[in-house]
Amino acid sequence: MLGRDEASGINVECRICGDKASGFHYGVHACEGCKGFFRRTVRMKLEYEKCERSCKIQKKSRNKCQYCRFQKCVILGMSHDAIRYGRMPEAEKRKLVAGLLASETKGSLNSSSSNLKTLAKRVNNAYQKNLNMTKKKARSILTGRTSSSPQTIQQIQK
């Protein structure tokens, strides 16, 4: 799979391990290996055994210390929030969007429901005020027993 940079002849290195970057993943130019490593770590909520050595992460040794590799990913700016929606699996995108909508809705739910109640009261009041219809009139119109013939659609349009 050729990335945009590869197609233009520019070789971009993975900021994590120095391998050839395949694109801009999670907010950083990264290779497929580091992209997958970061994705798995975040999705599975993996926690690695702490390392105090500040290991050097390179293409050949990137799999030796997962703790230092993940720390380097985070320090260099890789973030699950930097995912591009177009490349996210549909199920995960729906879940993320639903979560965002739910958090937005919680704040506006109380004000929206009171606005809807106010609107419903206004519509009901206007309806009651302007409708001069009794049950008797309605029944006679529906059964066709009115003294004046009801207007047809053609008469109304003229």
- What CATH number corresponds to the domain at position 19? 3.30.50.10
Residue 92: which of 80, 104, 102 has the closest Cα? 80
Residue 22 within a domain:
yes
d(CA 12, CA 18): 9
The DSSP bridge partners found for residue 24 are 29
Residue 66: which of 35, 41, 103, 99 has the closest Cα? 41
Q: What would the mean pLDDT of 16-21 be, rounded to a whole number?
A: 94
What local confidence, expressed as pLDDT, does residue 99 receive?
74
Residue 95: which of 147, 134, 43 has the closest Cα? 43
Tens of pLDDT, residue by residue over 21-74, are 988 899 889 999 999 999 999 999 999 999 999 999 999 999 999 999 999 999
Task: Say how many domains are in the chain.
Answer: 1
Tens of pLDDT, residue by residue over 82-123, are 766 555 566 766 776 777 677 666 666 566 677 788 888 887
Scanning the structure block, which residue is given the tokens 């309806």? 127
Contacts of 18 (CB under 8 A, 6+ apart): 58, 59
Residue 150 within a domain:
no
Q: Which residue range is the domain that position 31 belongs to?
A: 4-83
Contacts of 80 (CB under 8 A, 6+ apart): 26, 42
Residue 35 within a domain:
yes
Rounded (to 5) percent helix, strand, coil in the chain: 55, 5, 40
Residue 20 within a domain:
yes
Residue 155 within a domain:
no
